[in-house]
Structure 1
């Protein structure tokens, strides 16, 4: 069927992406304080450096998670340099506004790069970094293997690679597995339906050891099972990373059946499990 060609292409419909992302944020049942604390608590206590910490953020978005990581580093280091690689002018603008409003980030030297990861790595700069993070961005890079390899090359000896992805063990991650097995006819990594297992498989192939940490939350997907619900249609788009998926009966049917079989129902709310998995790898000298 032709509908599978749309899978993972939500990013090509910017307005739909923004609307579906807002719907997802509203449906996500999570304590934001605990959510941010999860990132801060996983920042390594010991990052070897003498003259200050250099940080590279790949796909930093509006900077909410970046700021948590940077504040954690500022507790231990007086000098922090942060290179921000983000293709969206709007997201960089939001990040800069956050920096202006948060005096505690005044001690950070920022270097803004409005580029995709691919554009950035073609510059072949010699700078190495003590901490490189990619927070829920590796779904969107063109070549996952190449991005991880380039990232590892820019990591200083003793430095830390800090990655966050949707877990392959979550209800949401398993939905993507089902979609990949059912509809994807070529390499599934060519879609946006990537999960933590794909990253770990790449690191294993590169003989890079790592540790992981997980944080569970839920998404209220009740509207996704209602016909003619615009909220449900937008949420399904984001969950499947597929634009107007409600107009693709076969894909929609498979996804809704997954929800019915794998979600819990509490107080009339149908809840899809989401597991935020952090993968941390140190580069030995």
Structure 2
């Protein structure tokens, strides 16, 4: 049974252009293949088996309750659900995604691949969803927030809210770019390219980096401030950015550069800075044949709510 209605009106966080860029580079760069390998090798041990140990296998005929935050068009989340179905034959999933176009694509996928899972579609920003969640008081066995907490207004509050939504023994999975590689390394080298807008992350009383450039270090700090125990893992994915290094300007070159340096338009910067950033991008990349791939490492945080 699938609920095909999308609530509310479209309120995308990312512009359609950026959504398309992510889709294009994810597909050509092997992002989903890297994620699938990591899920095959790690997800069952860290999530599925621990959930069985913590809450049982749901033989009481009640569904496993799952929450996806920033689910996009569902490629990664459906990989999670396929693994969970091995031990939990009934699953109810709440999908929170601000881009209505992505939700439509997600729905098209489940008609083919997830007929036995029920869905609740929430076309909201995360912070708006949390406000409604406090009224409904739903609890979940598994929550995933994969590369989505960049956009929460307050990181500490977002993590605490997600932890509060777990049942005892439930598990929260957060993935975010690593501070020491790829995007994290690039923005650490050129912090002055960040947008001027910043946000407050609460308990430290200091101004955080702009939310687009949060990385694993910020999640580490937030979890420690909140005193939430966690385990970590990581995996590398590659984005094909060969056109970044074309000598002649073209639409393909501009799109590739914009993808890596989002939300800054690097081509509008002074020429010497442009070249310095390109050199750093190349330093964060690997060459395979005639192609260049940007190495974006993702750190995975596993946070279990005590029973």
Task: Assess same fold via TM > 0.5.
Answer: yes
| SS state at 1:127 partner | coil
Match of 2:115 among 106, 120, 123: 106
Tell me, yes or no, if structure 1 residue 272 matches structure 2 residue 281.
Answer: no
- Return the structure number with greater relative CO, CA threshold 8 A, min gap 6: 1
**Tell me, what secondary structure is at the counterpart of 1:277?**
strand
In 2, the alpha carbon distance for the partners of 1:283 and 1:191 equals: 26
Q: Is the 8 A contact 1:16 1:243 kept in 2?
A: no
Which residues in structure 2 correspond to 1:126-145 (within 5 Å)? 126-145=137-156
CA deviation string 1:234-267 (max 9, x = no partner): 1221212225331223663442131244434443
What number of residue pairs does the alignment pair up? 272
Q: Which runs of 5+ in 1 are unaligned?
A: 1-10
Task: Choose the corresponding residue for 2:172, options 161, 170, 188.
Answer: 161
Match of 2:106? Answer: 95
Is structure 2 residue 36 aligned with structure 1 residue 14? no
For the pair 1:238 / 2:259, whether they are aligned, the reply is: yes
Q: C-alpha separation between the residues in 1 aligned to 2:16 and 2:269?
A: 19
Residues 12-21 or 93-102, more deviating: 12-21
Which is worse superposed, 126-135 or 228-237? 228-237
5 Å matches for 1:125-274?
A: 125-180=136-191, 183=194, 187-226=207-246, 227-249=248-270, 252-274=274-296
Distance 1:235 1:145 in 2: 32
Give the conservation status (yes or no) of the 8 Å contact 1:23–1:235.
no
8 Å CA contact 1:144–1:189 kept in 2: the answer is: no
After TM superposition, the structure 1 stretch with the greater mean CA deviation from structure 2, 47-56 or 247-256, is: 247-256
Can you give the 5+ residue segments of structure 2 that lack an aligned partner in the other structure?
A: 1-11, 199-206
What TM-score do the two structures reach when normalised by structure 2?
A: 0.79
Task: State the Cα RMSD in Å.
Answer: 2.4
- What is the CA-CA distance between 1:276 and the residue it aligns to? 2.5
SS of aligned partner of 2:190: helix
In structure 2, do the counterparts of structure 1 residues 244 and 34 end up closer, same or farther at CA, with 3 Å as the change threshold? closer
Whole-Å separation in 1 of the counterparts to 2:194 and 2:72? 30
Q: Cα gap change, 1:131/1:146 in structure 2, threshold over 3 Å: closer, same or farther?
A: same
Distance 2:14 2:275 in 1: 22
Following TM superposition, by how much is the alpha carbon of 1:19 offset from its aligned partner in structure 2, in angstroms?
4.1
Deviations 1:31-79 (A, max 9, x none): x445324235314113115433111111111111111111111110122
Shift of residue 13 of structure 1?
Answer: 6.9
Write the distance in 1 (CA, Å) between the matches of 2:122 and 2:194. Answer: 36
1: distance between equivalents of 2:189 and 2:147?
Answer: 20
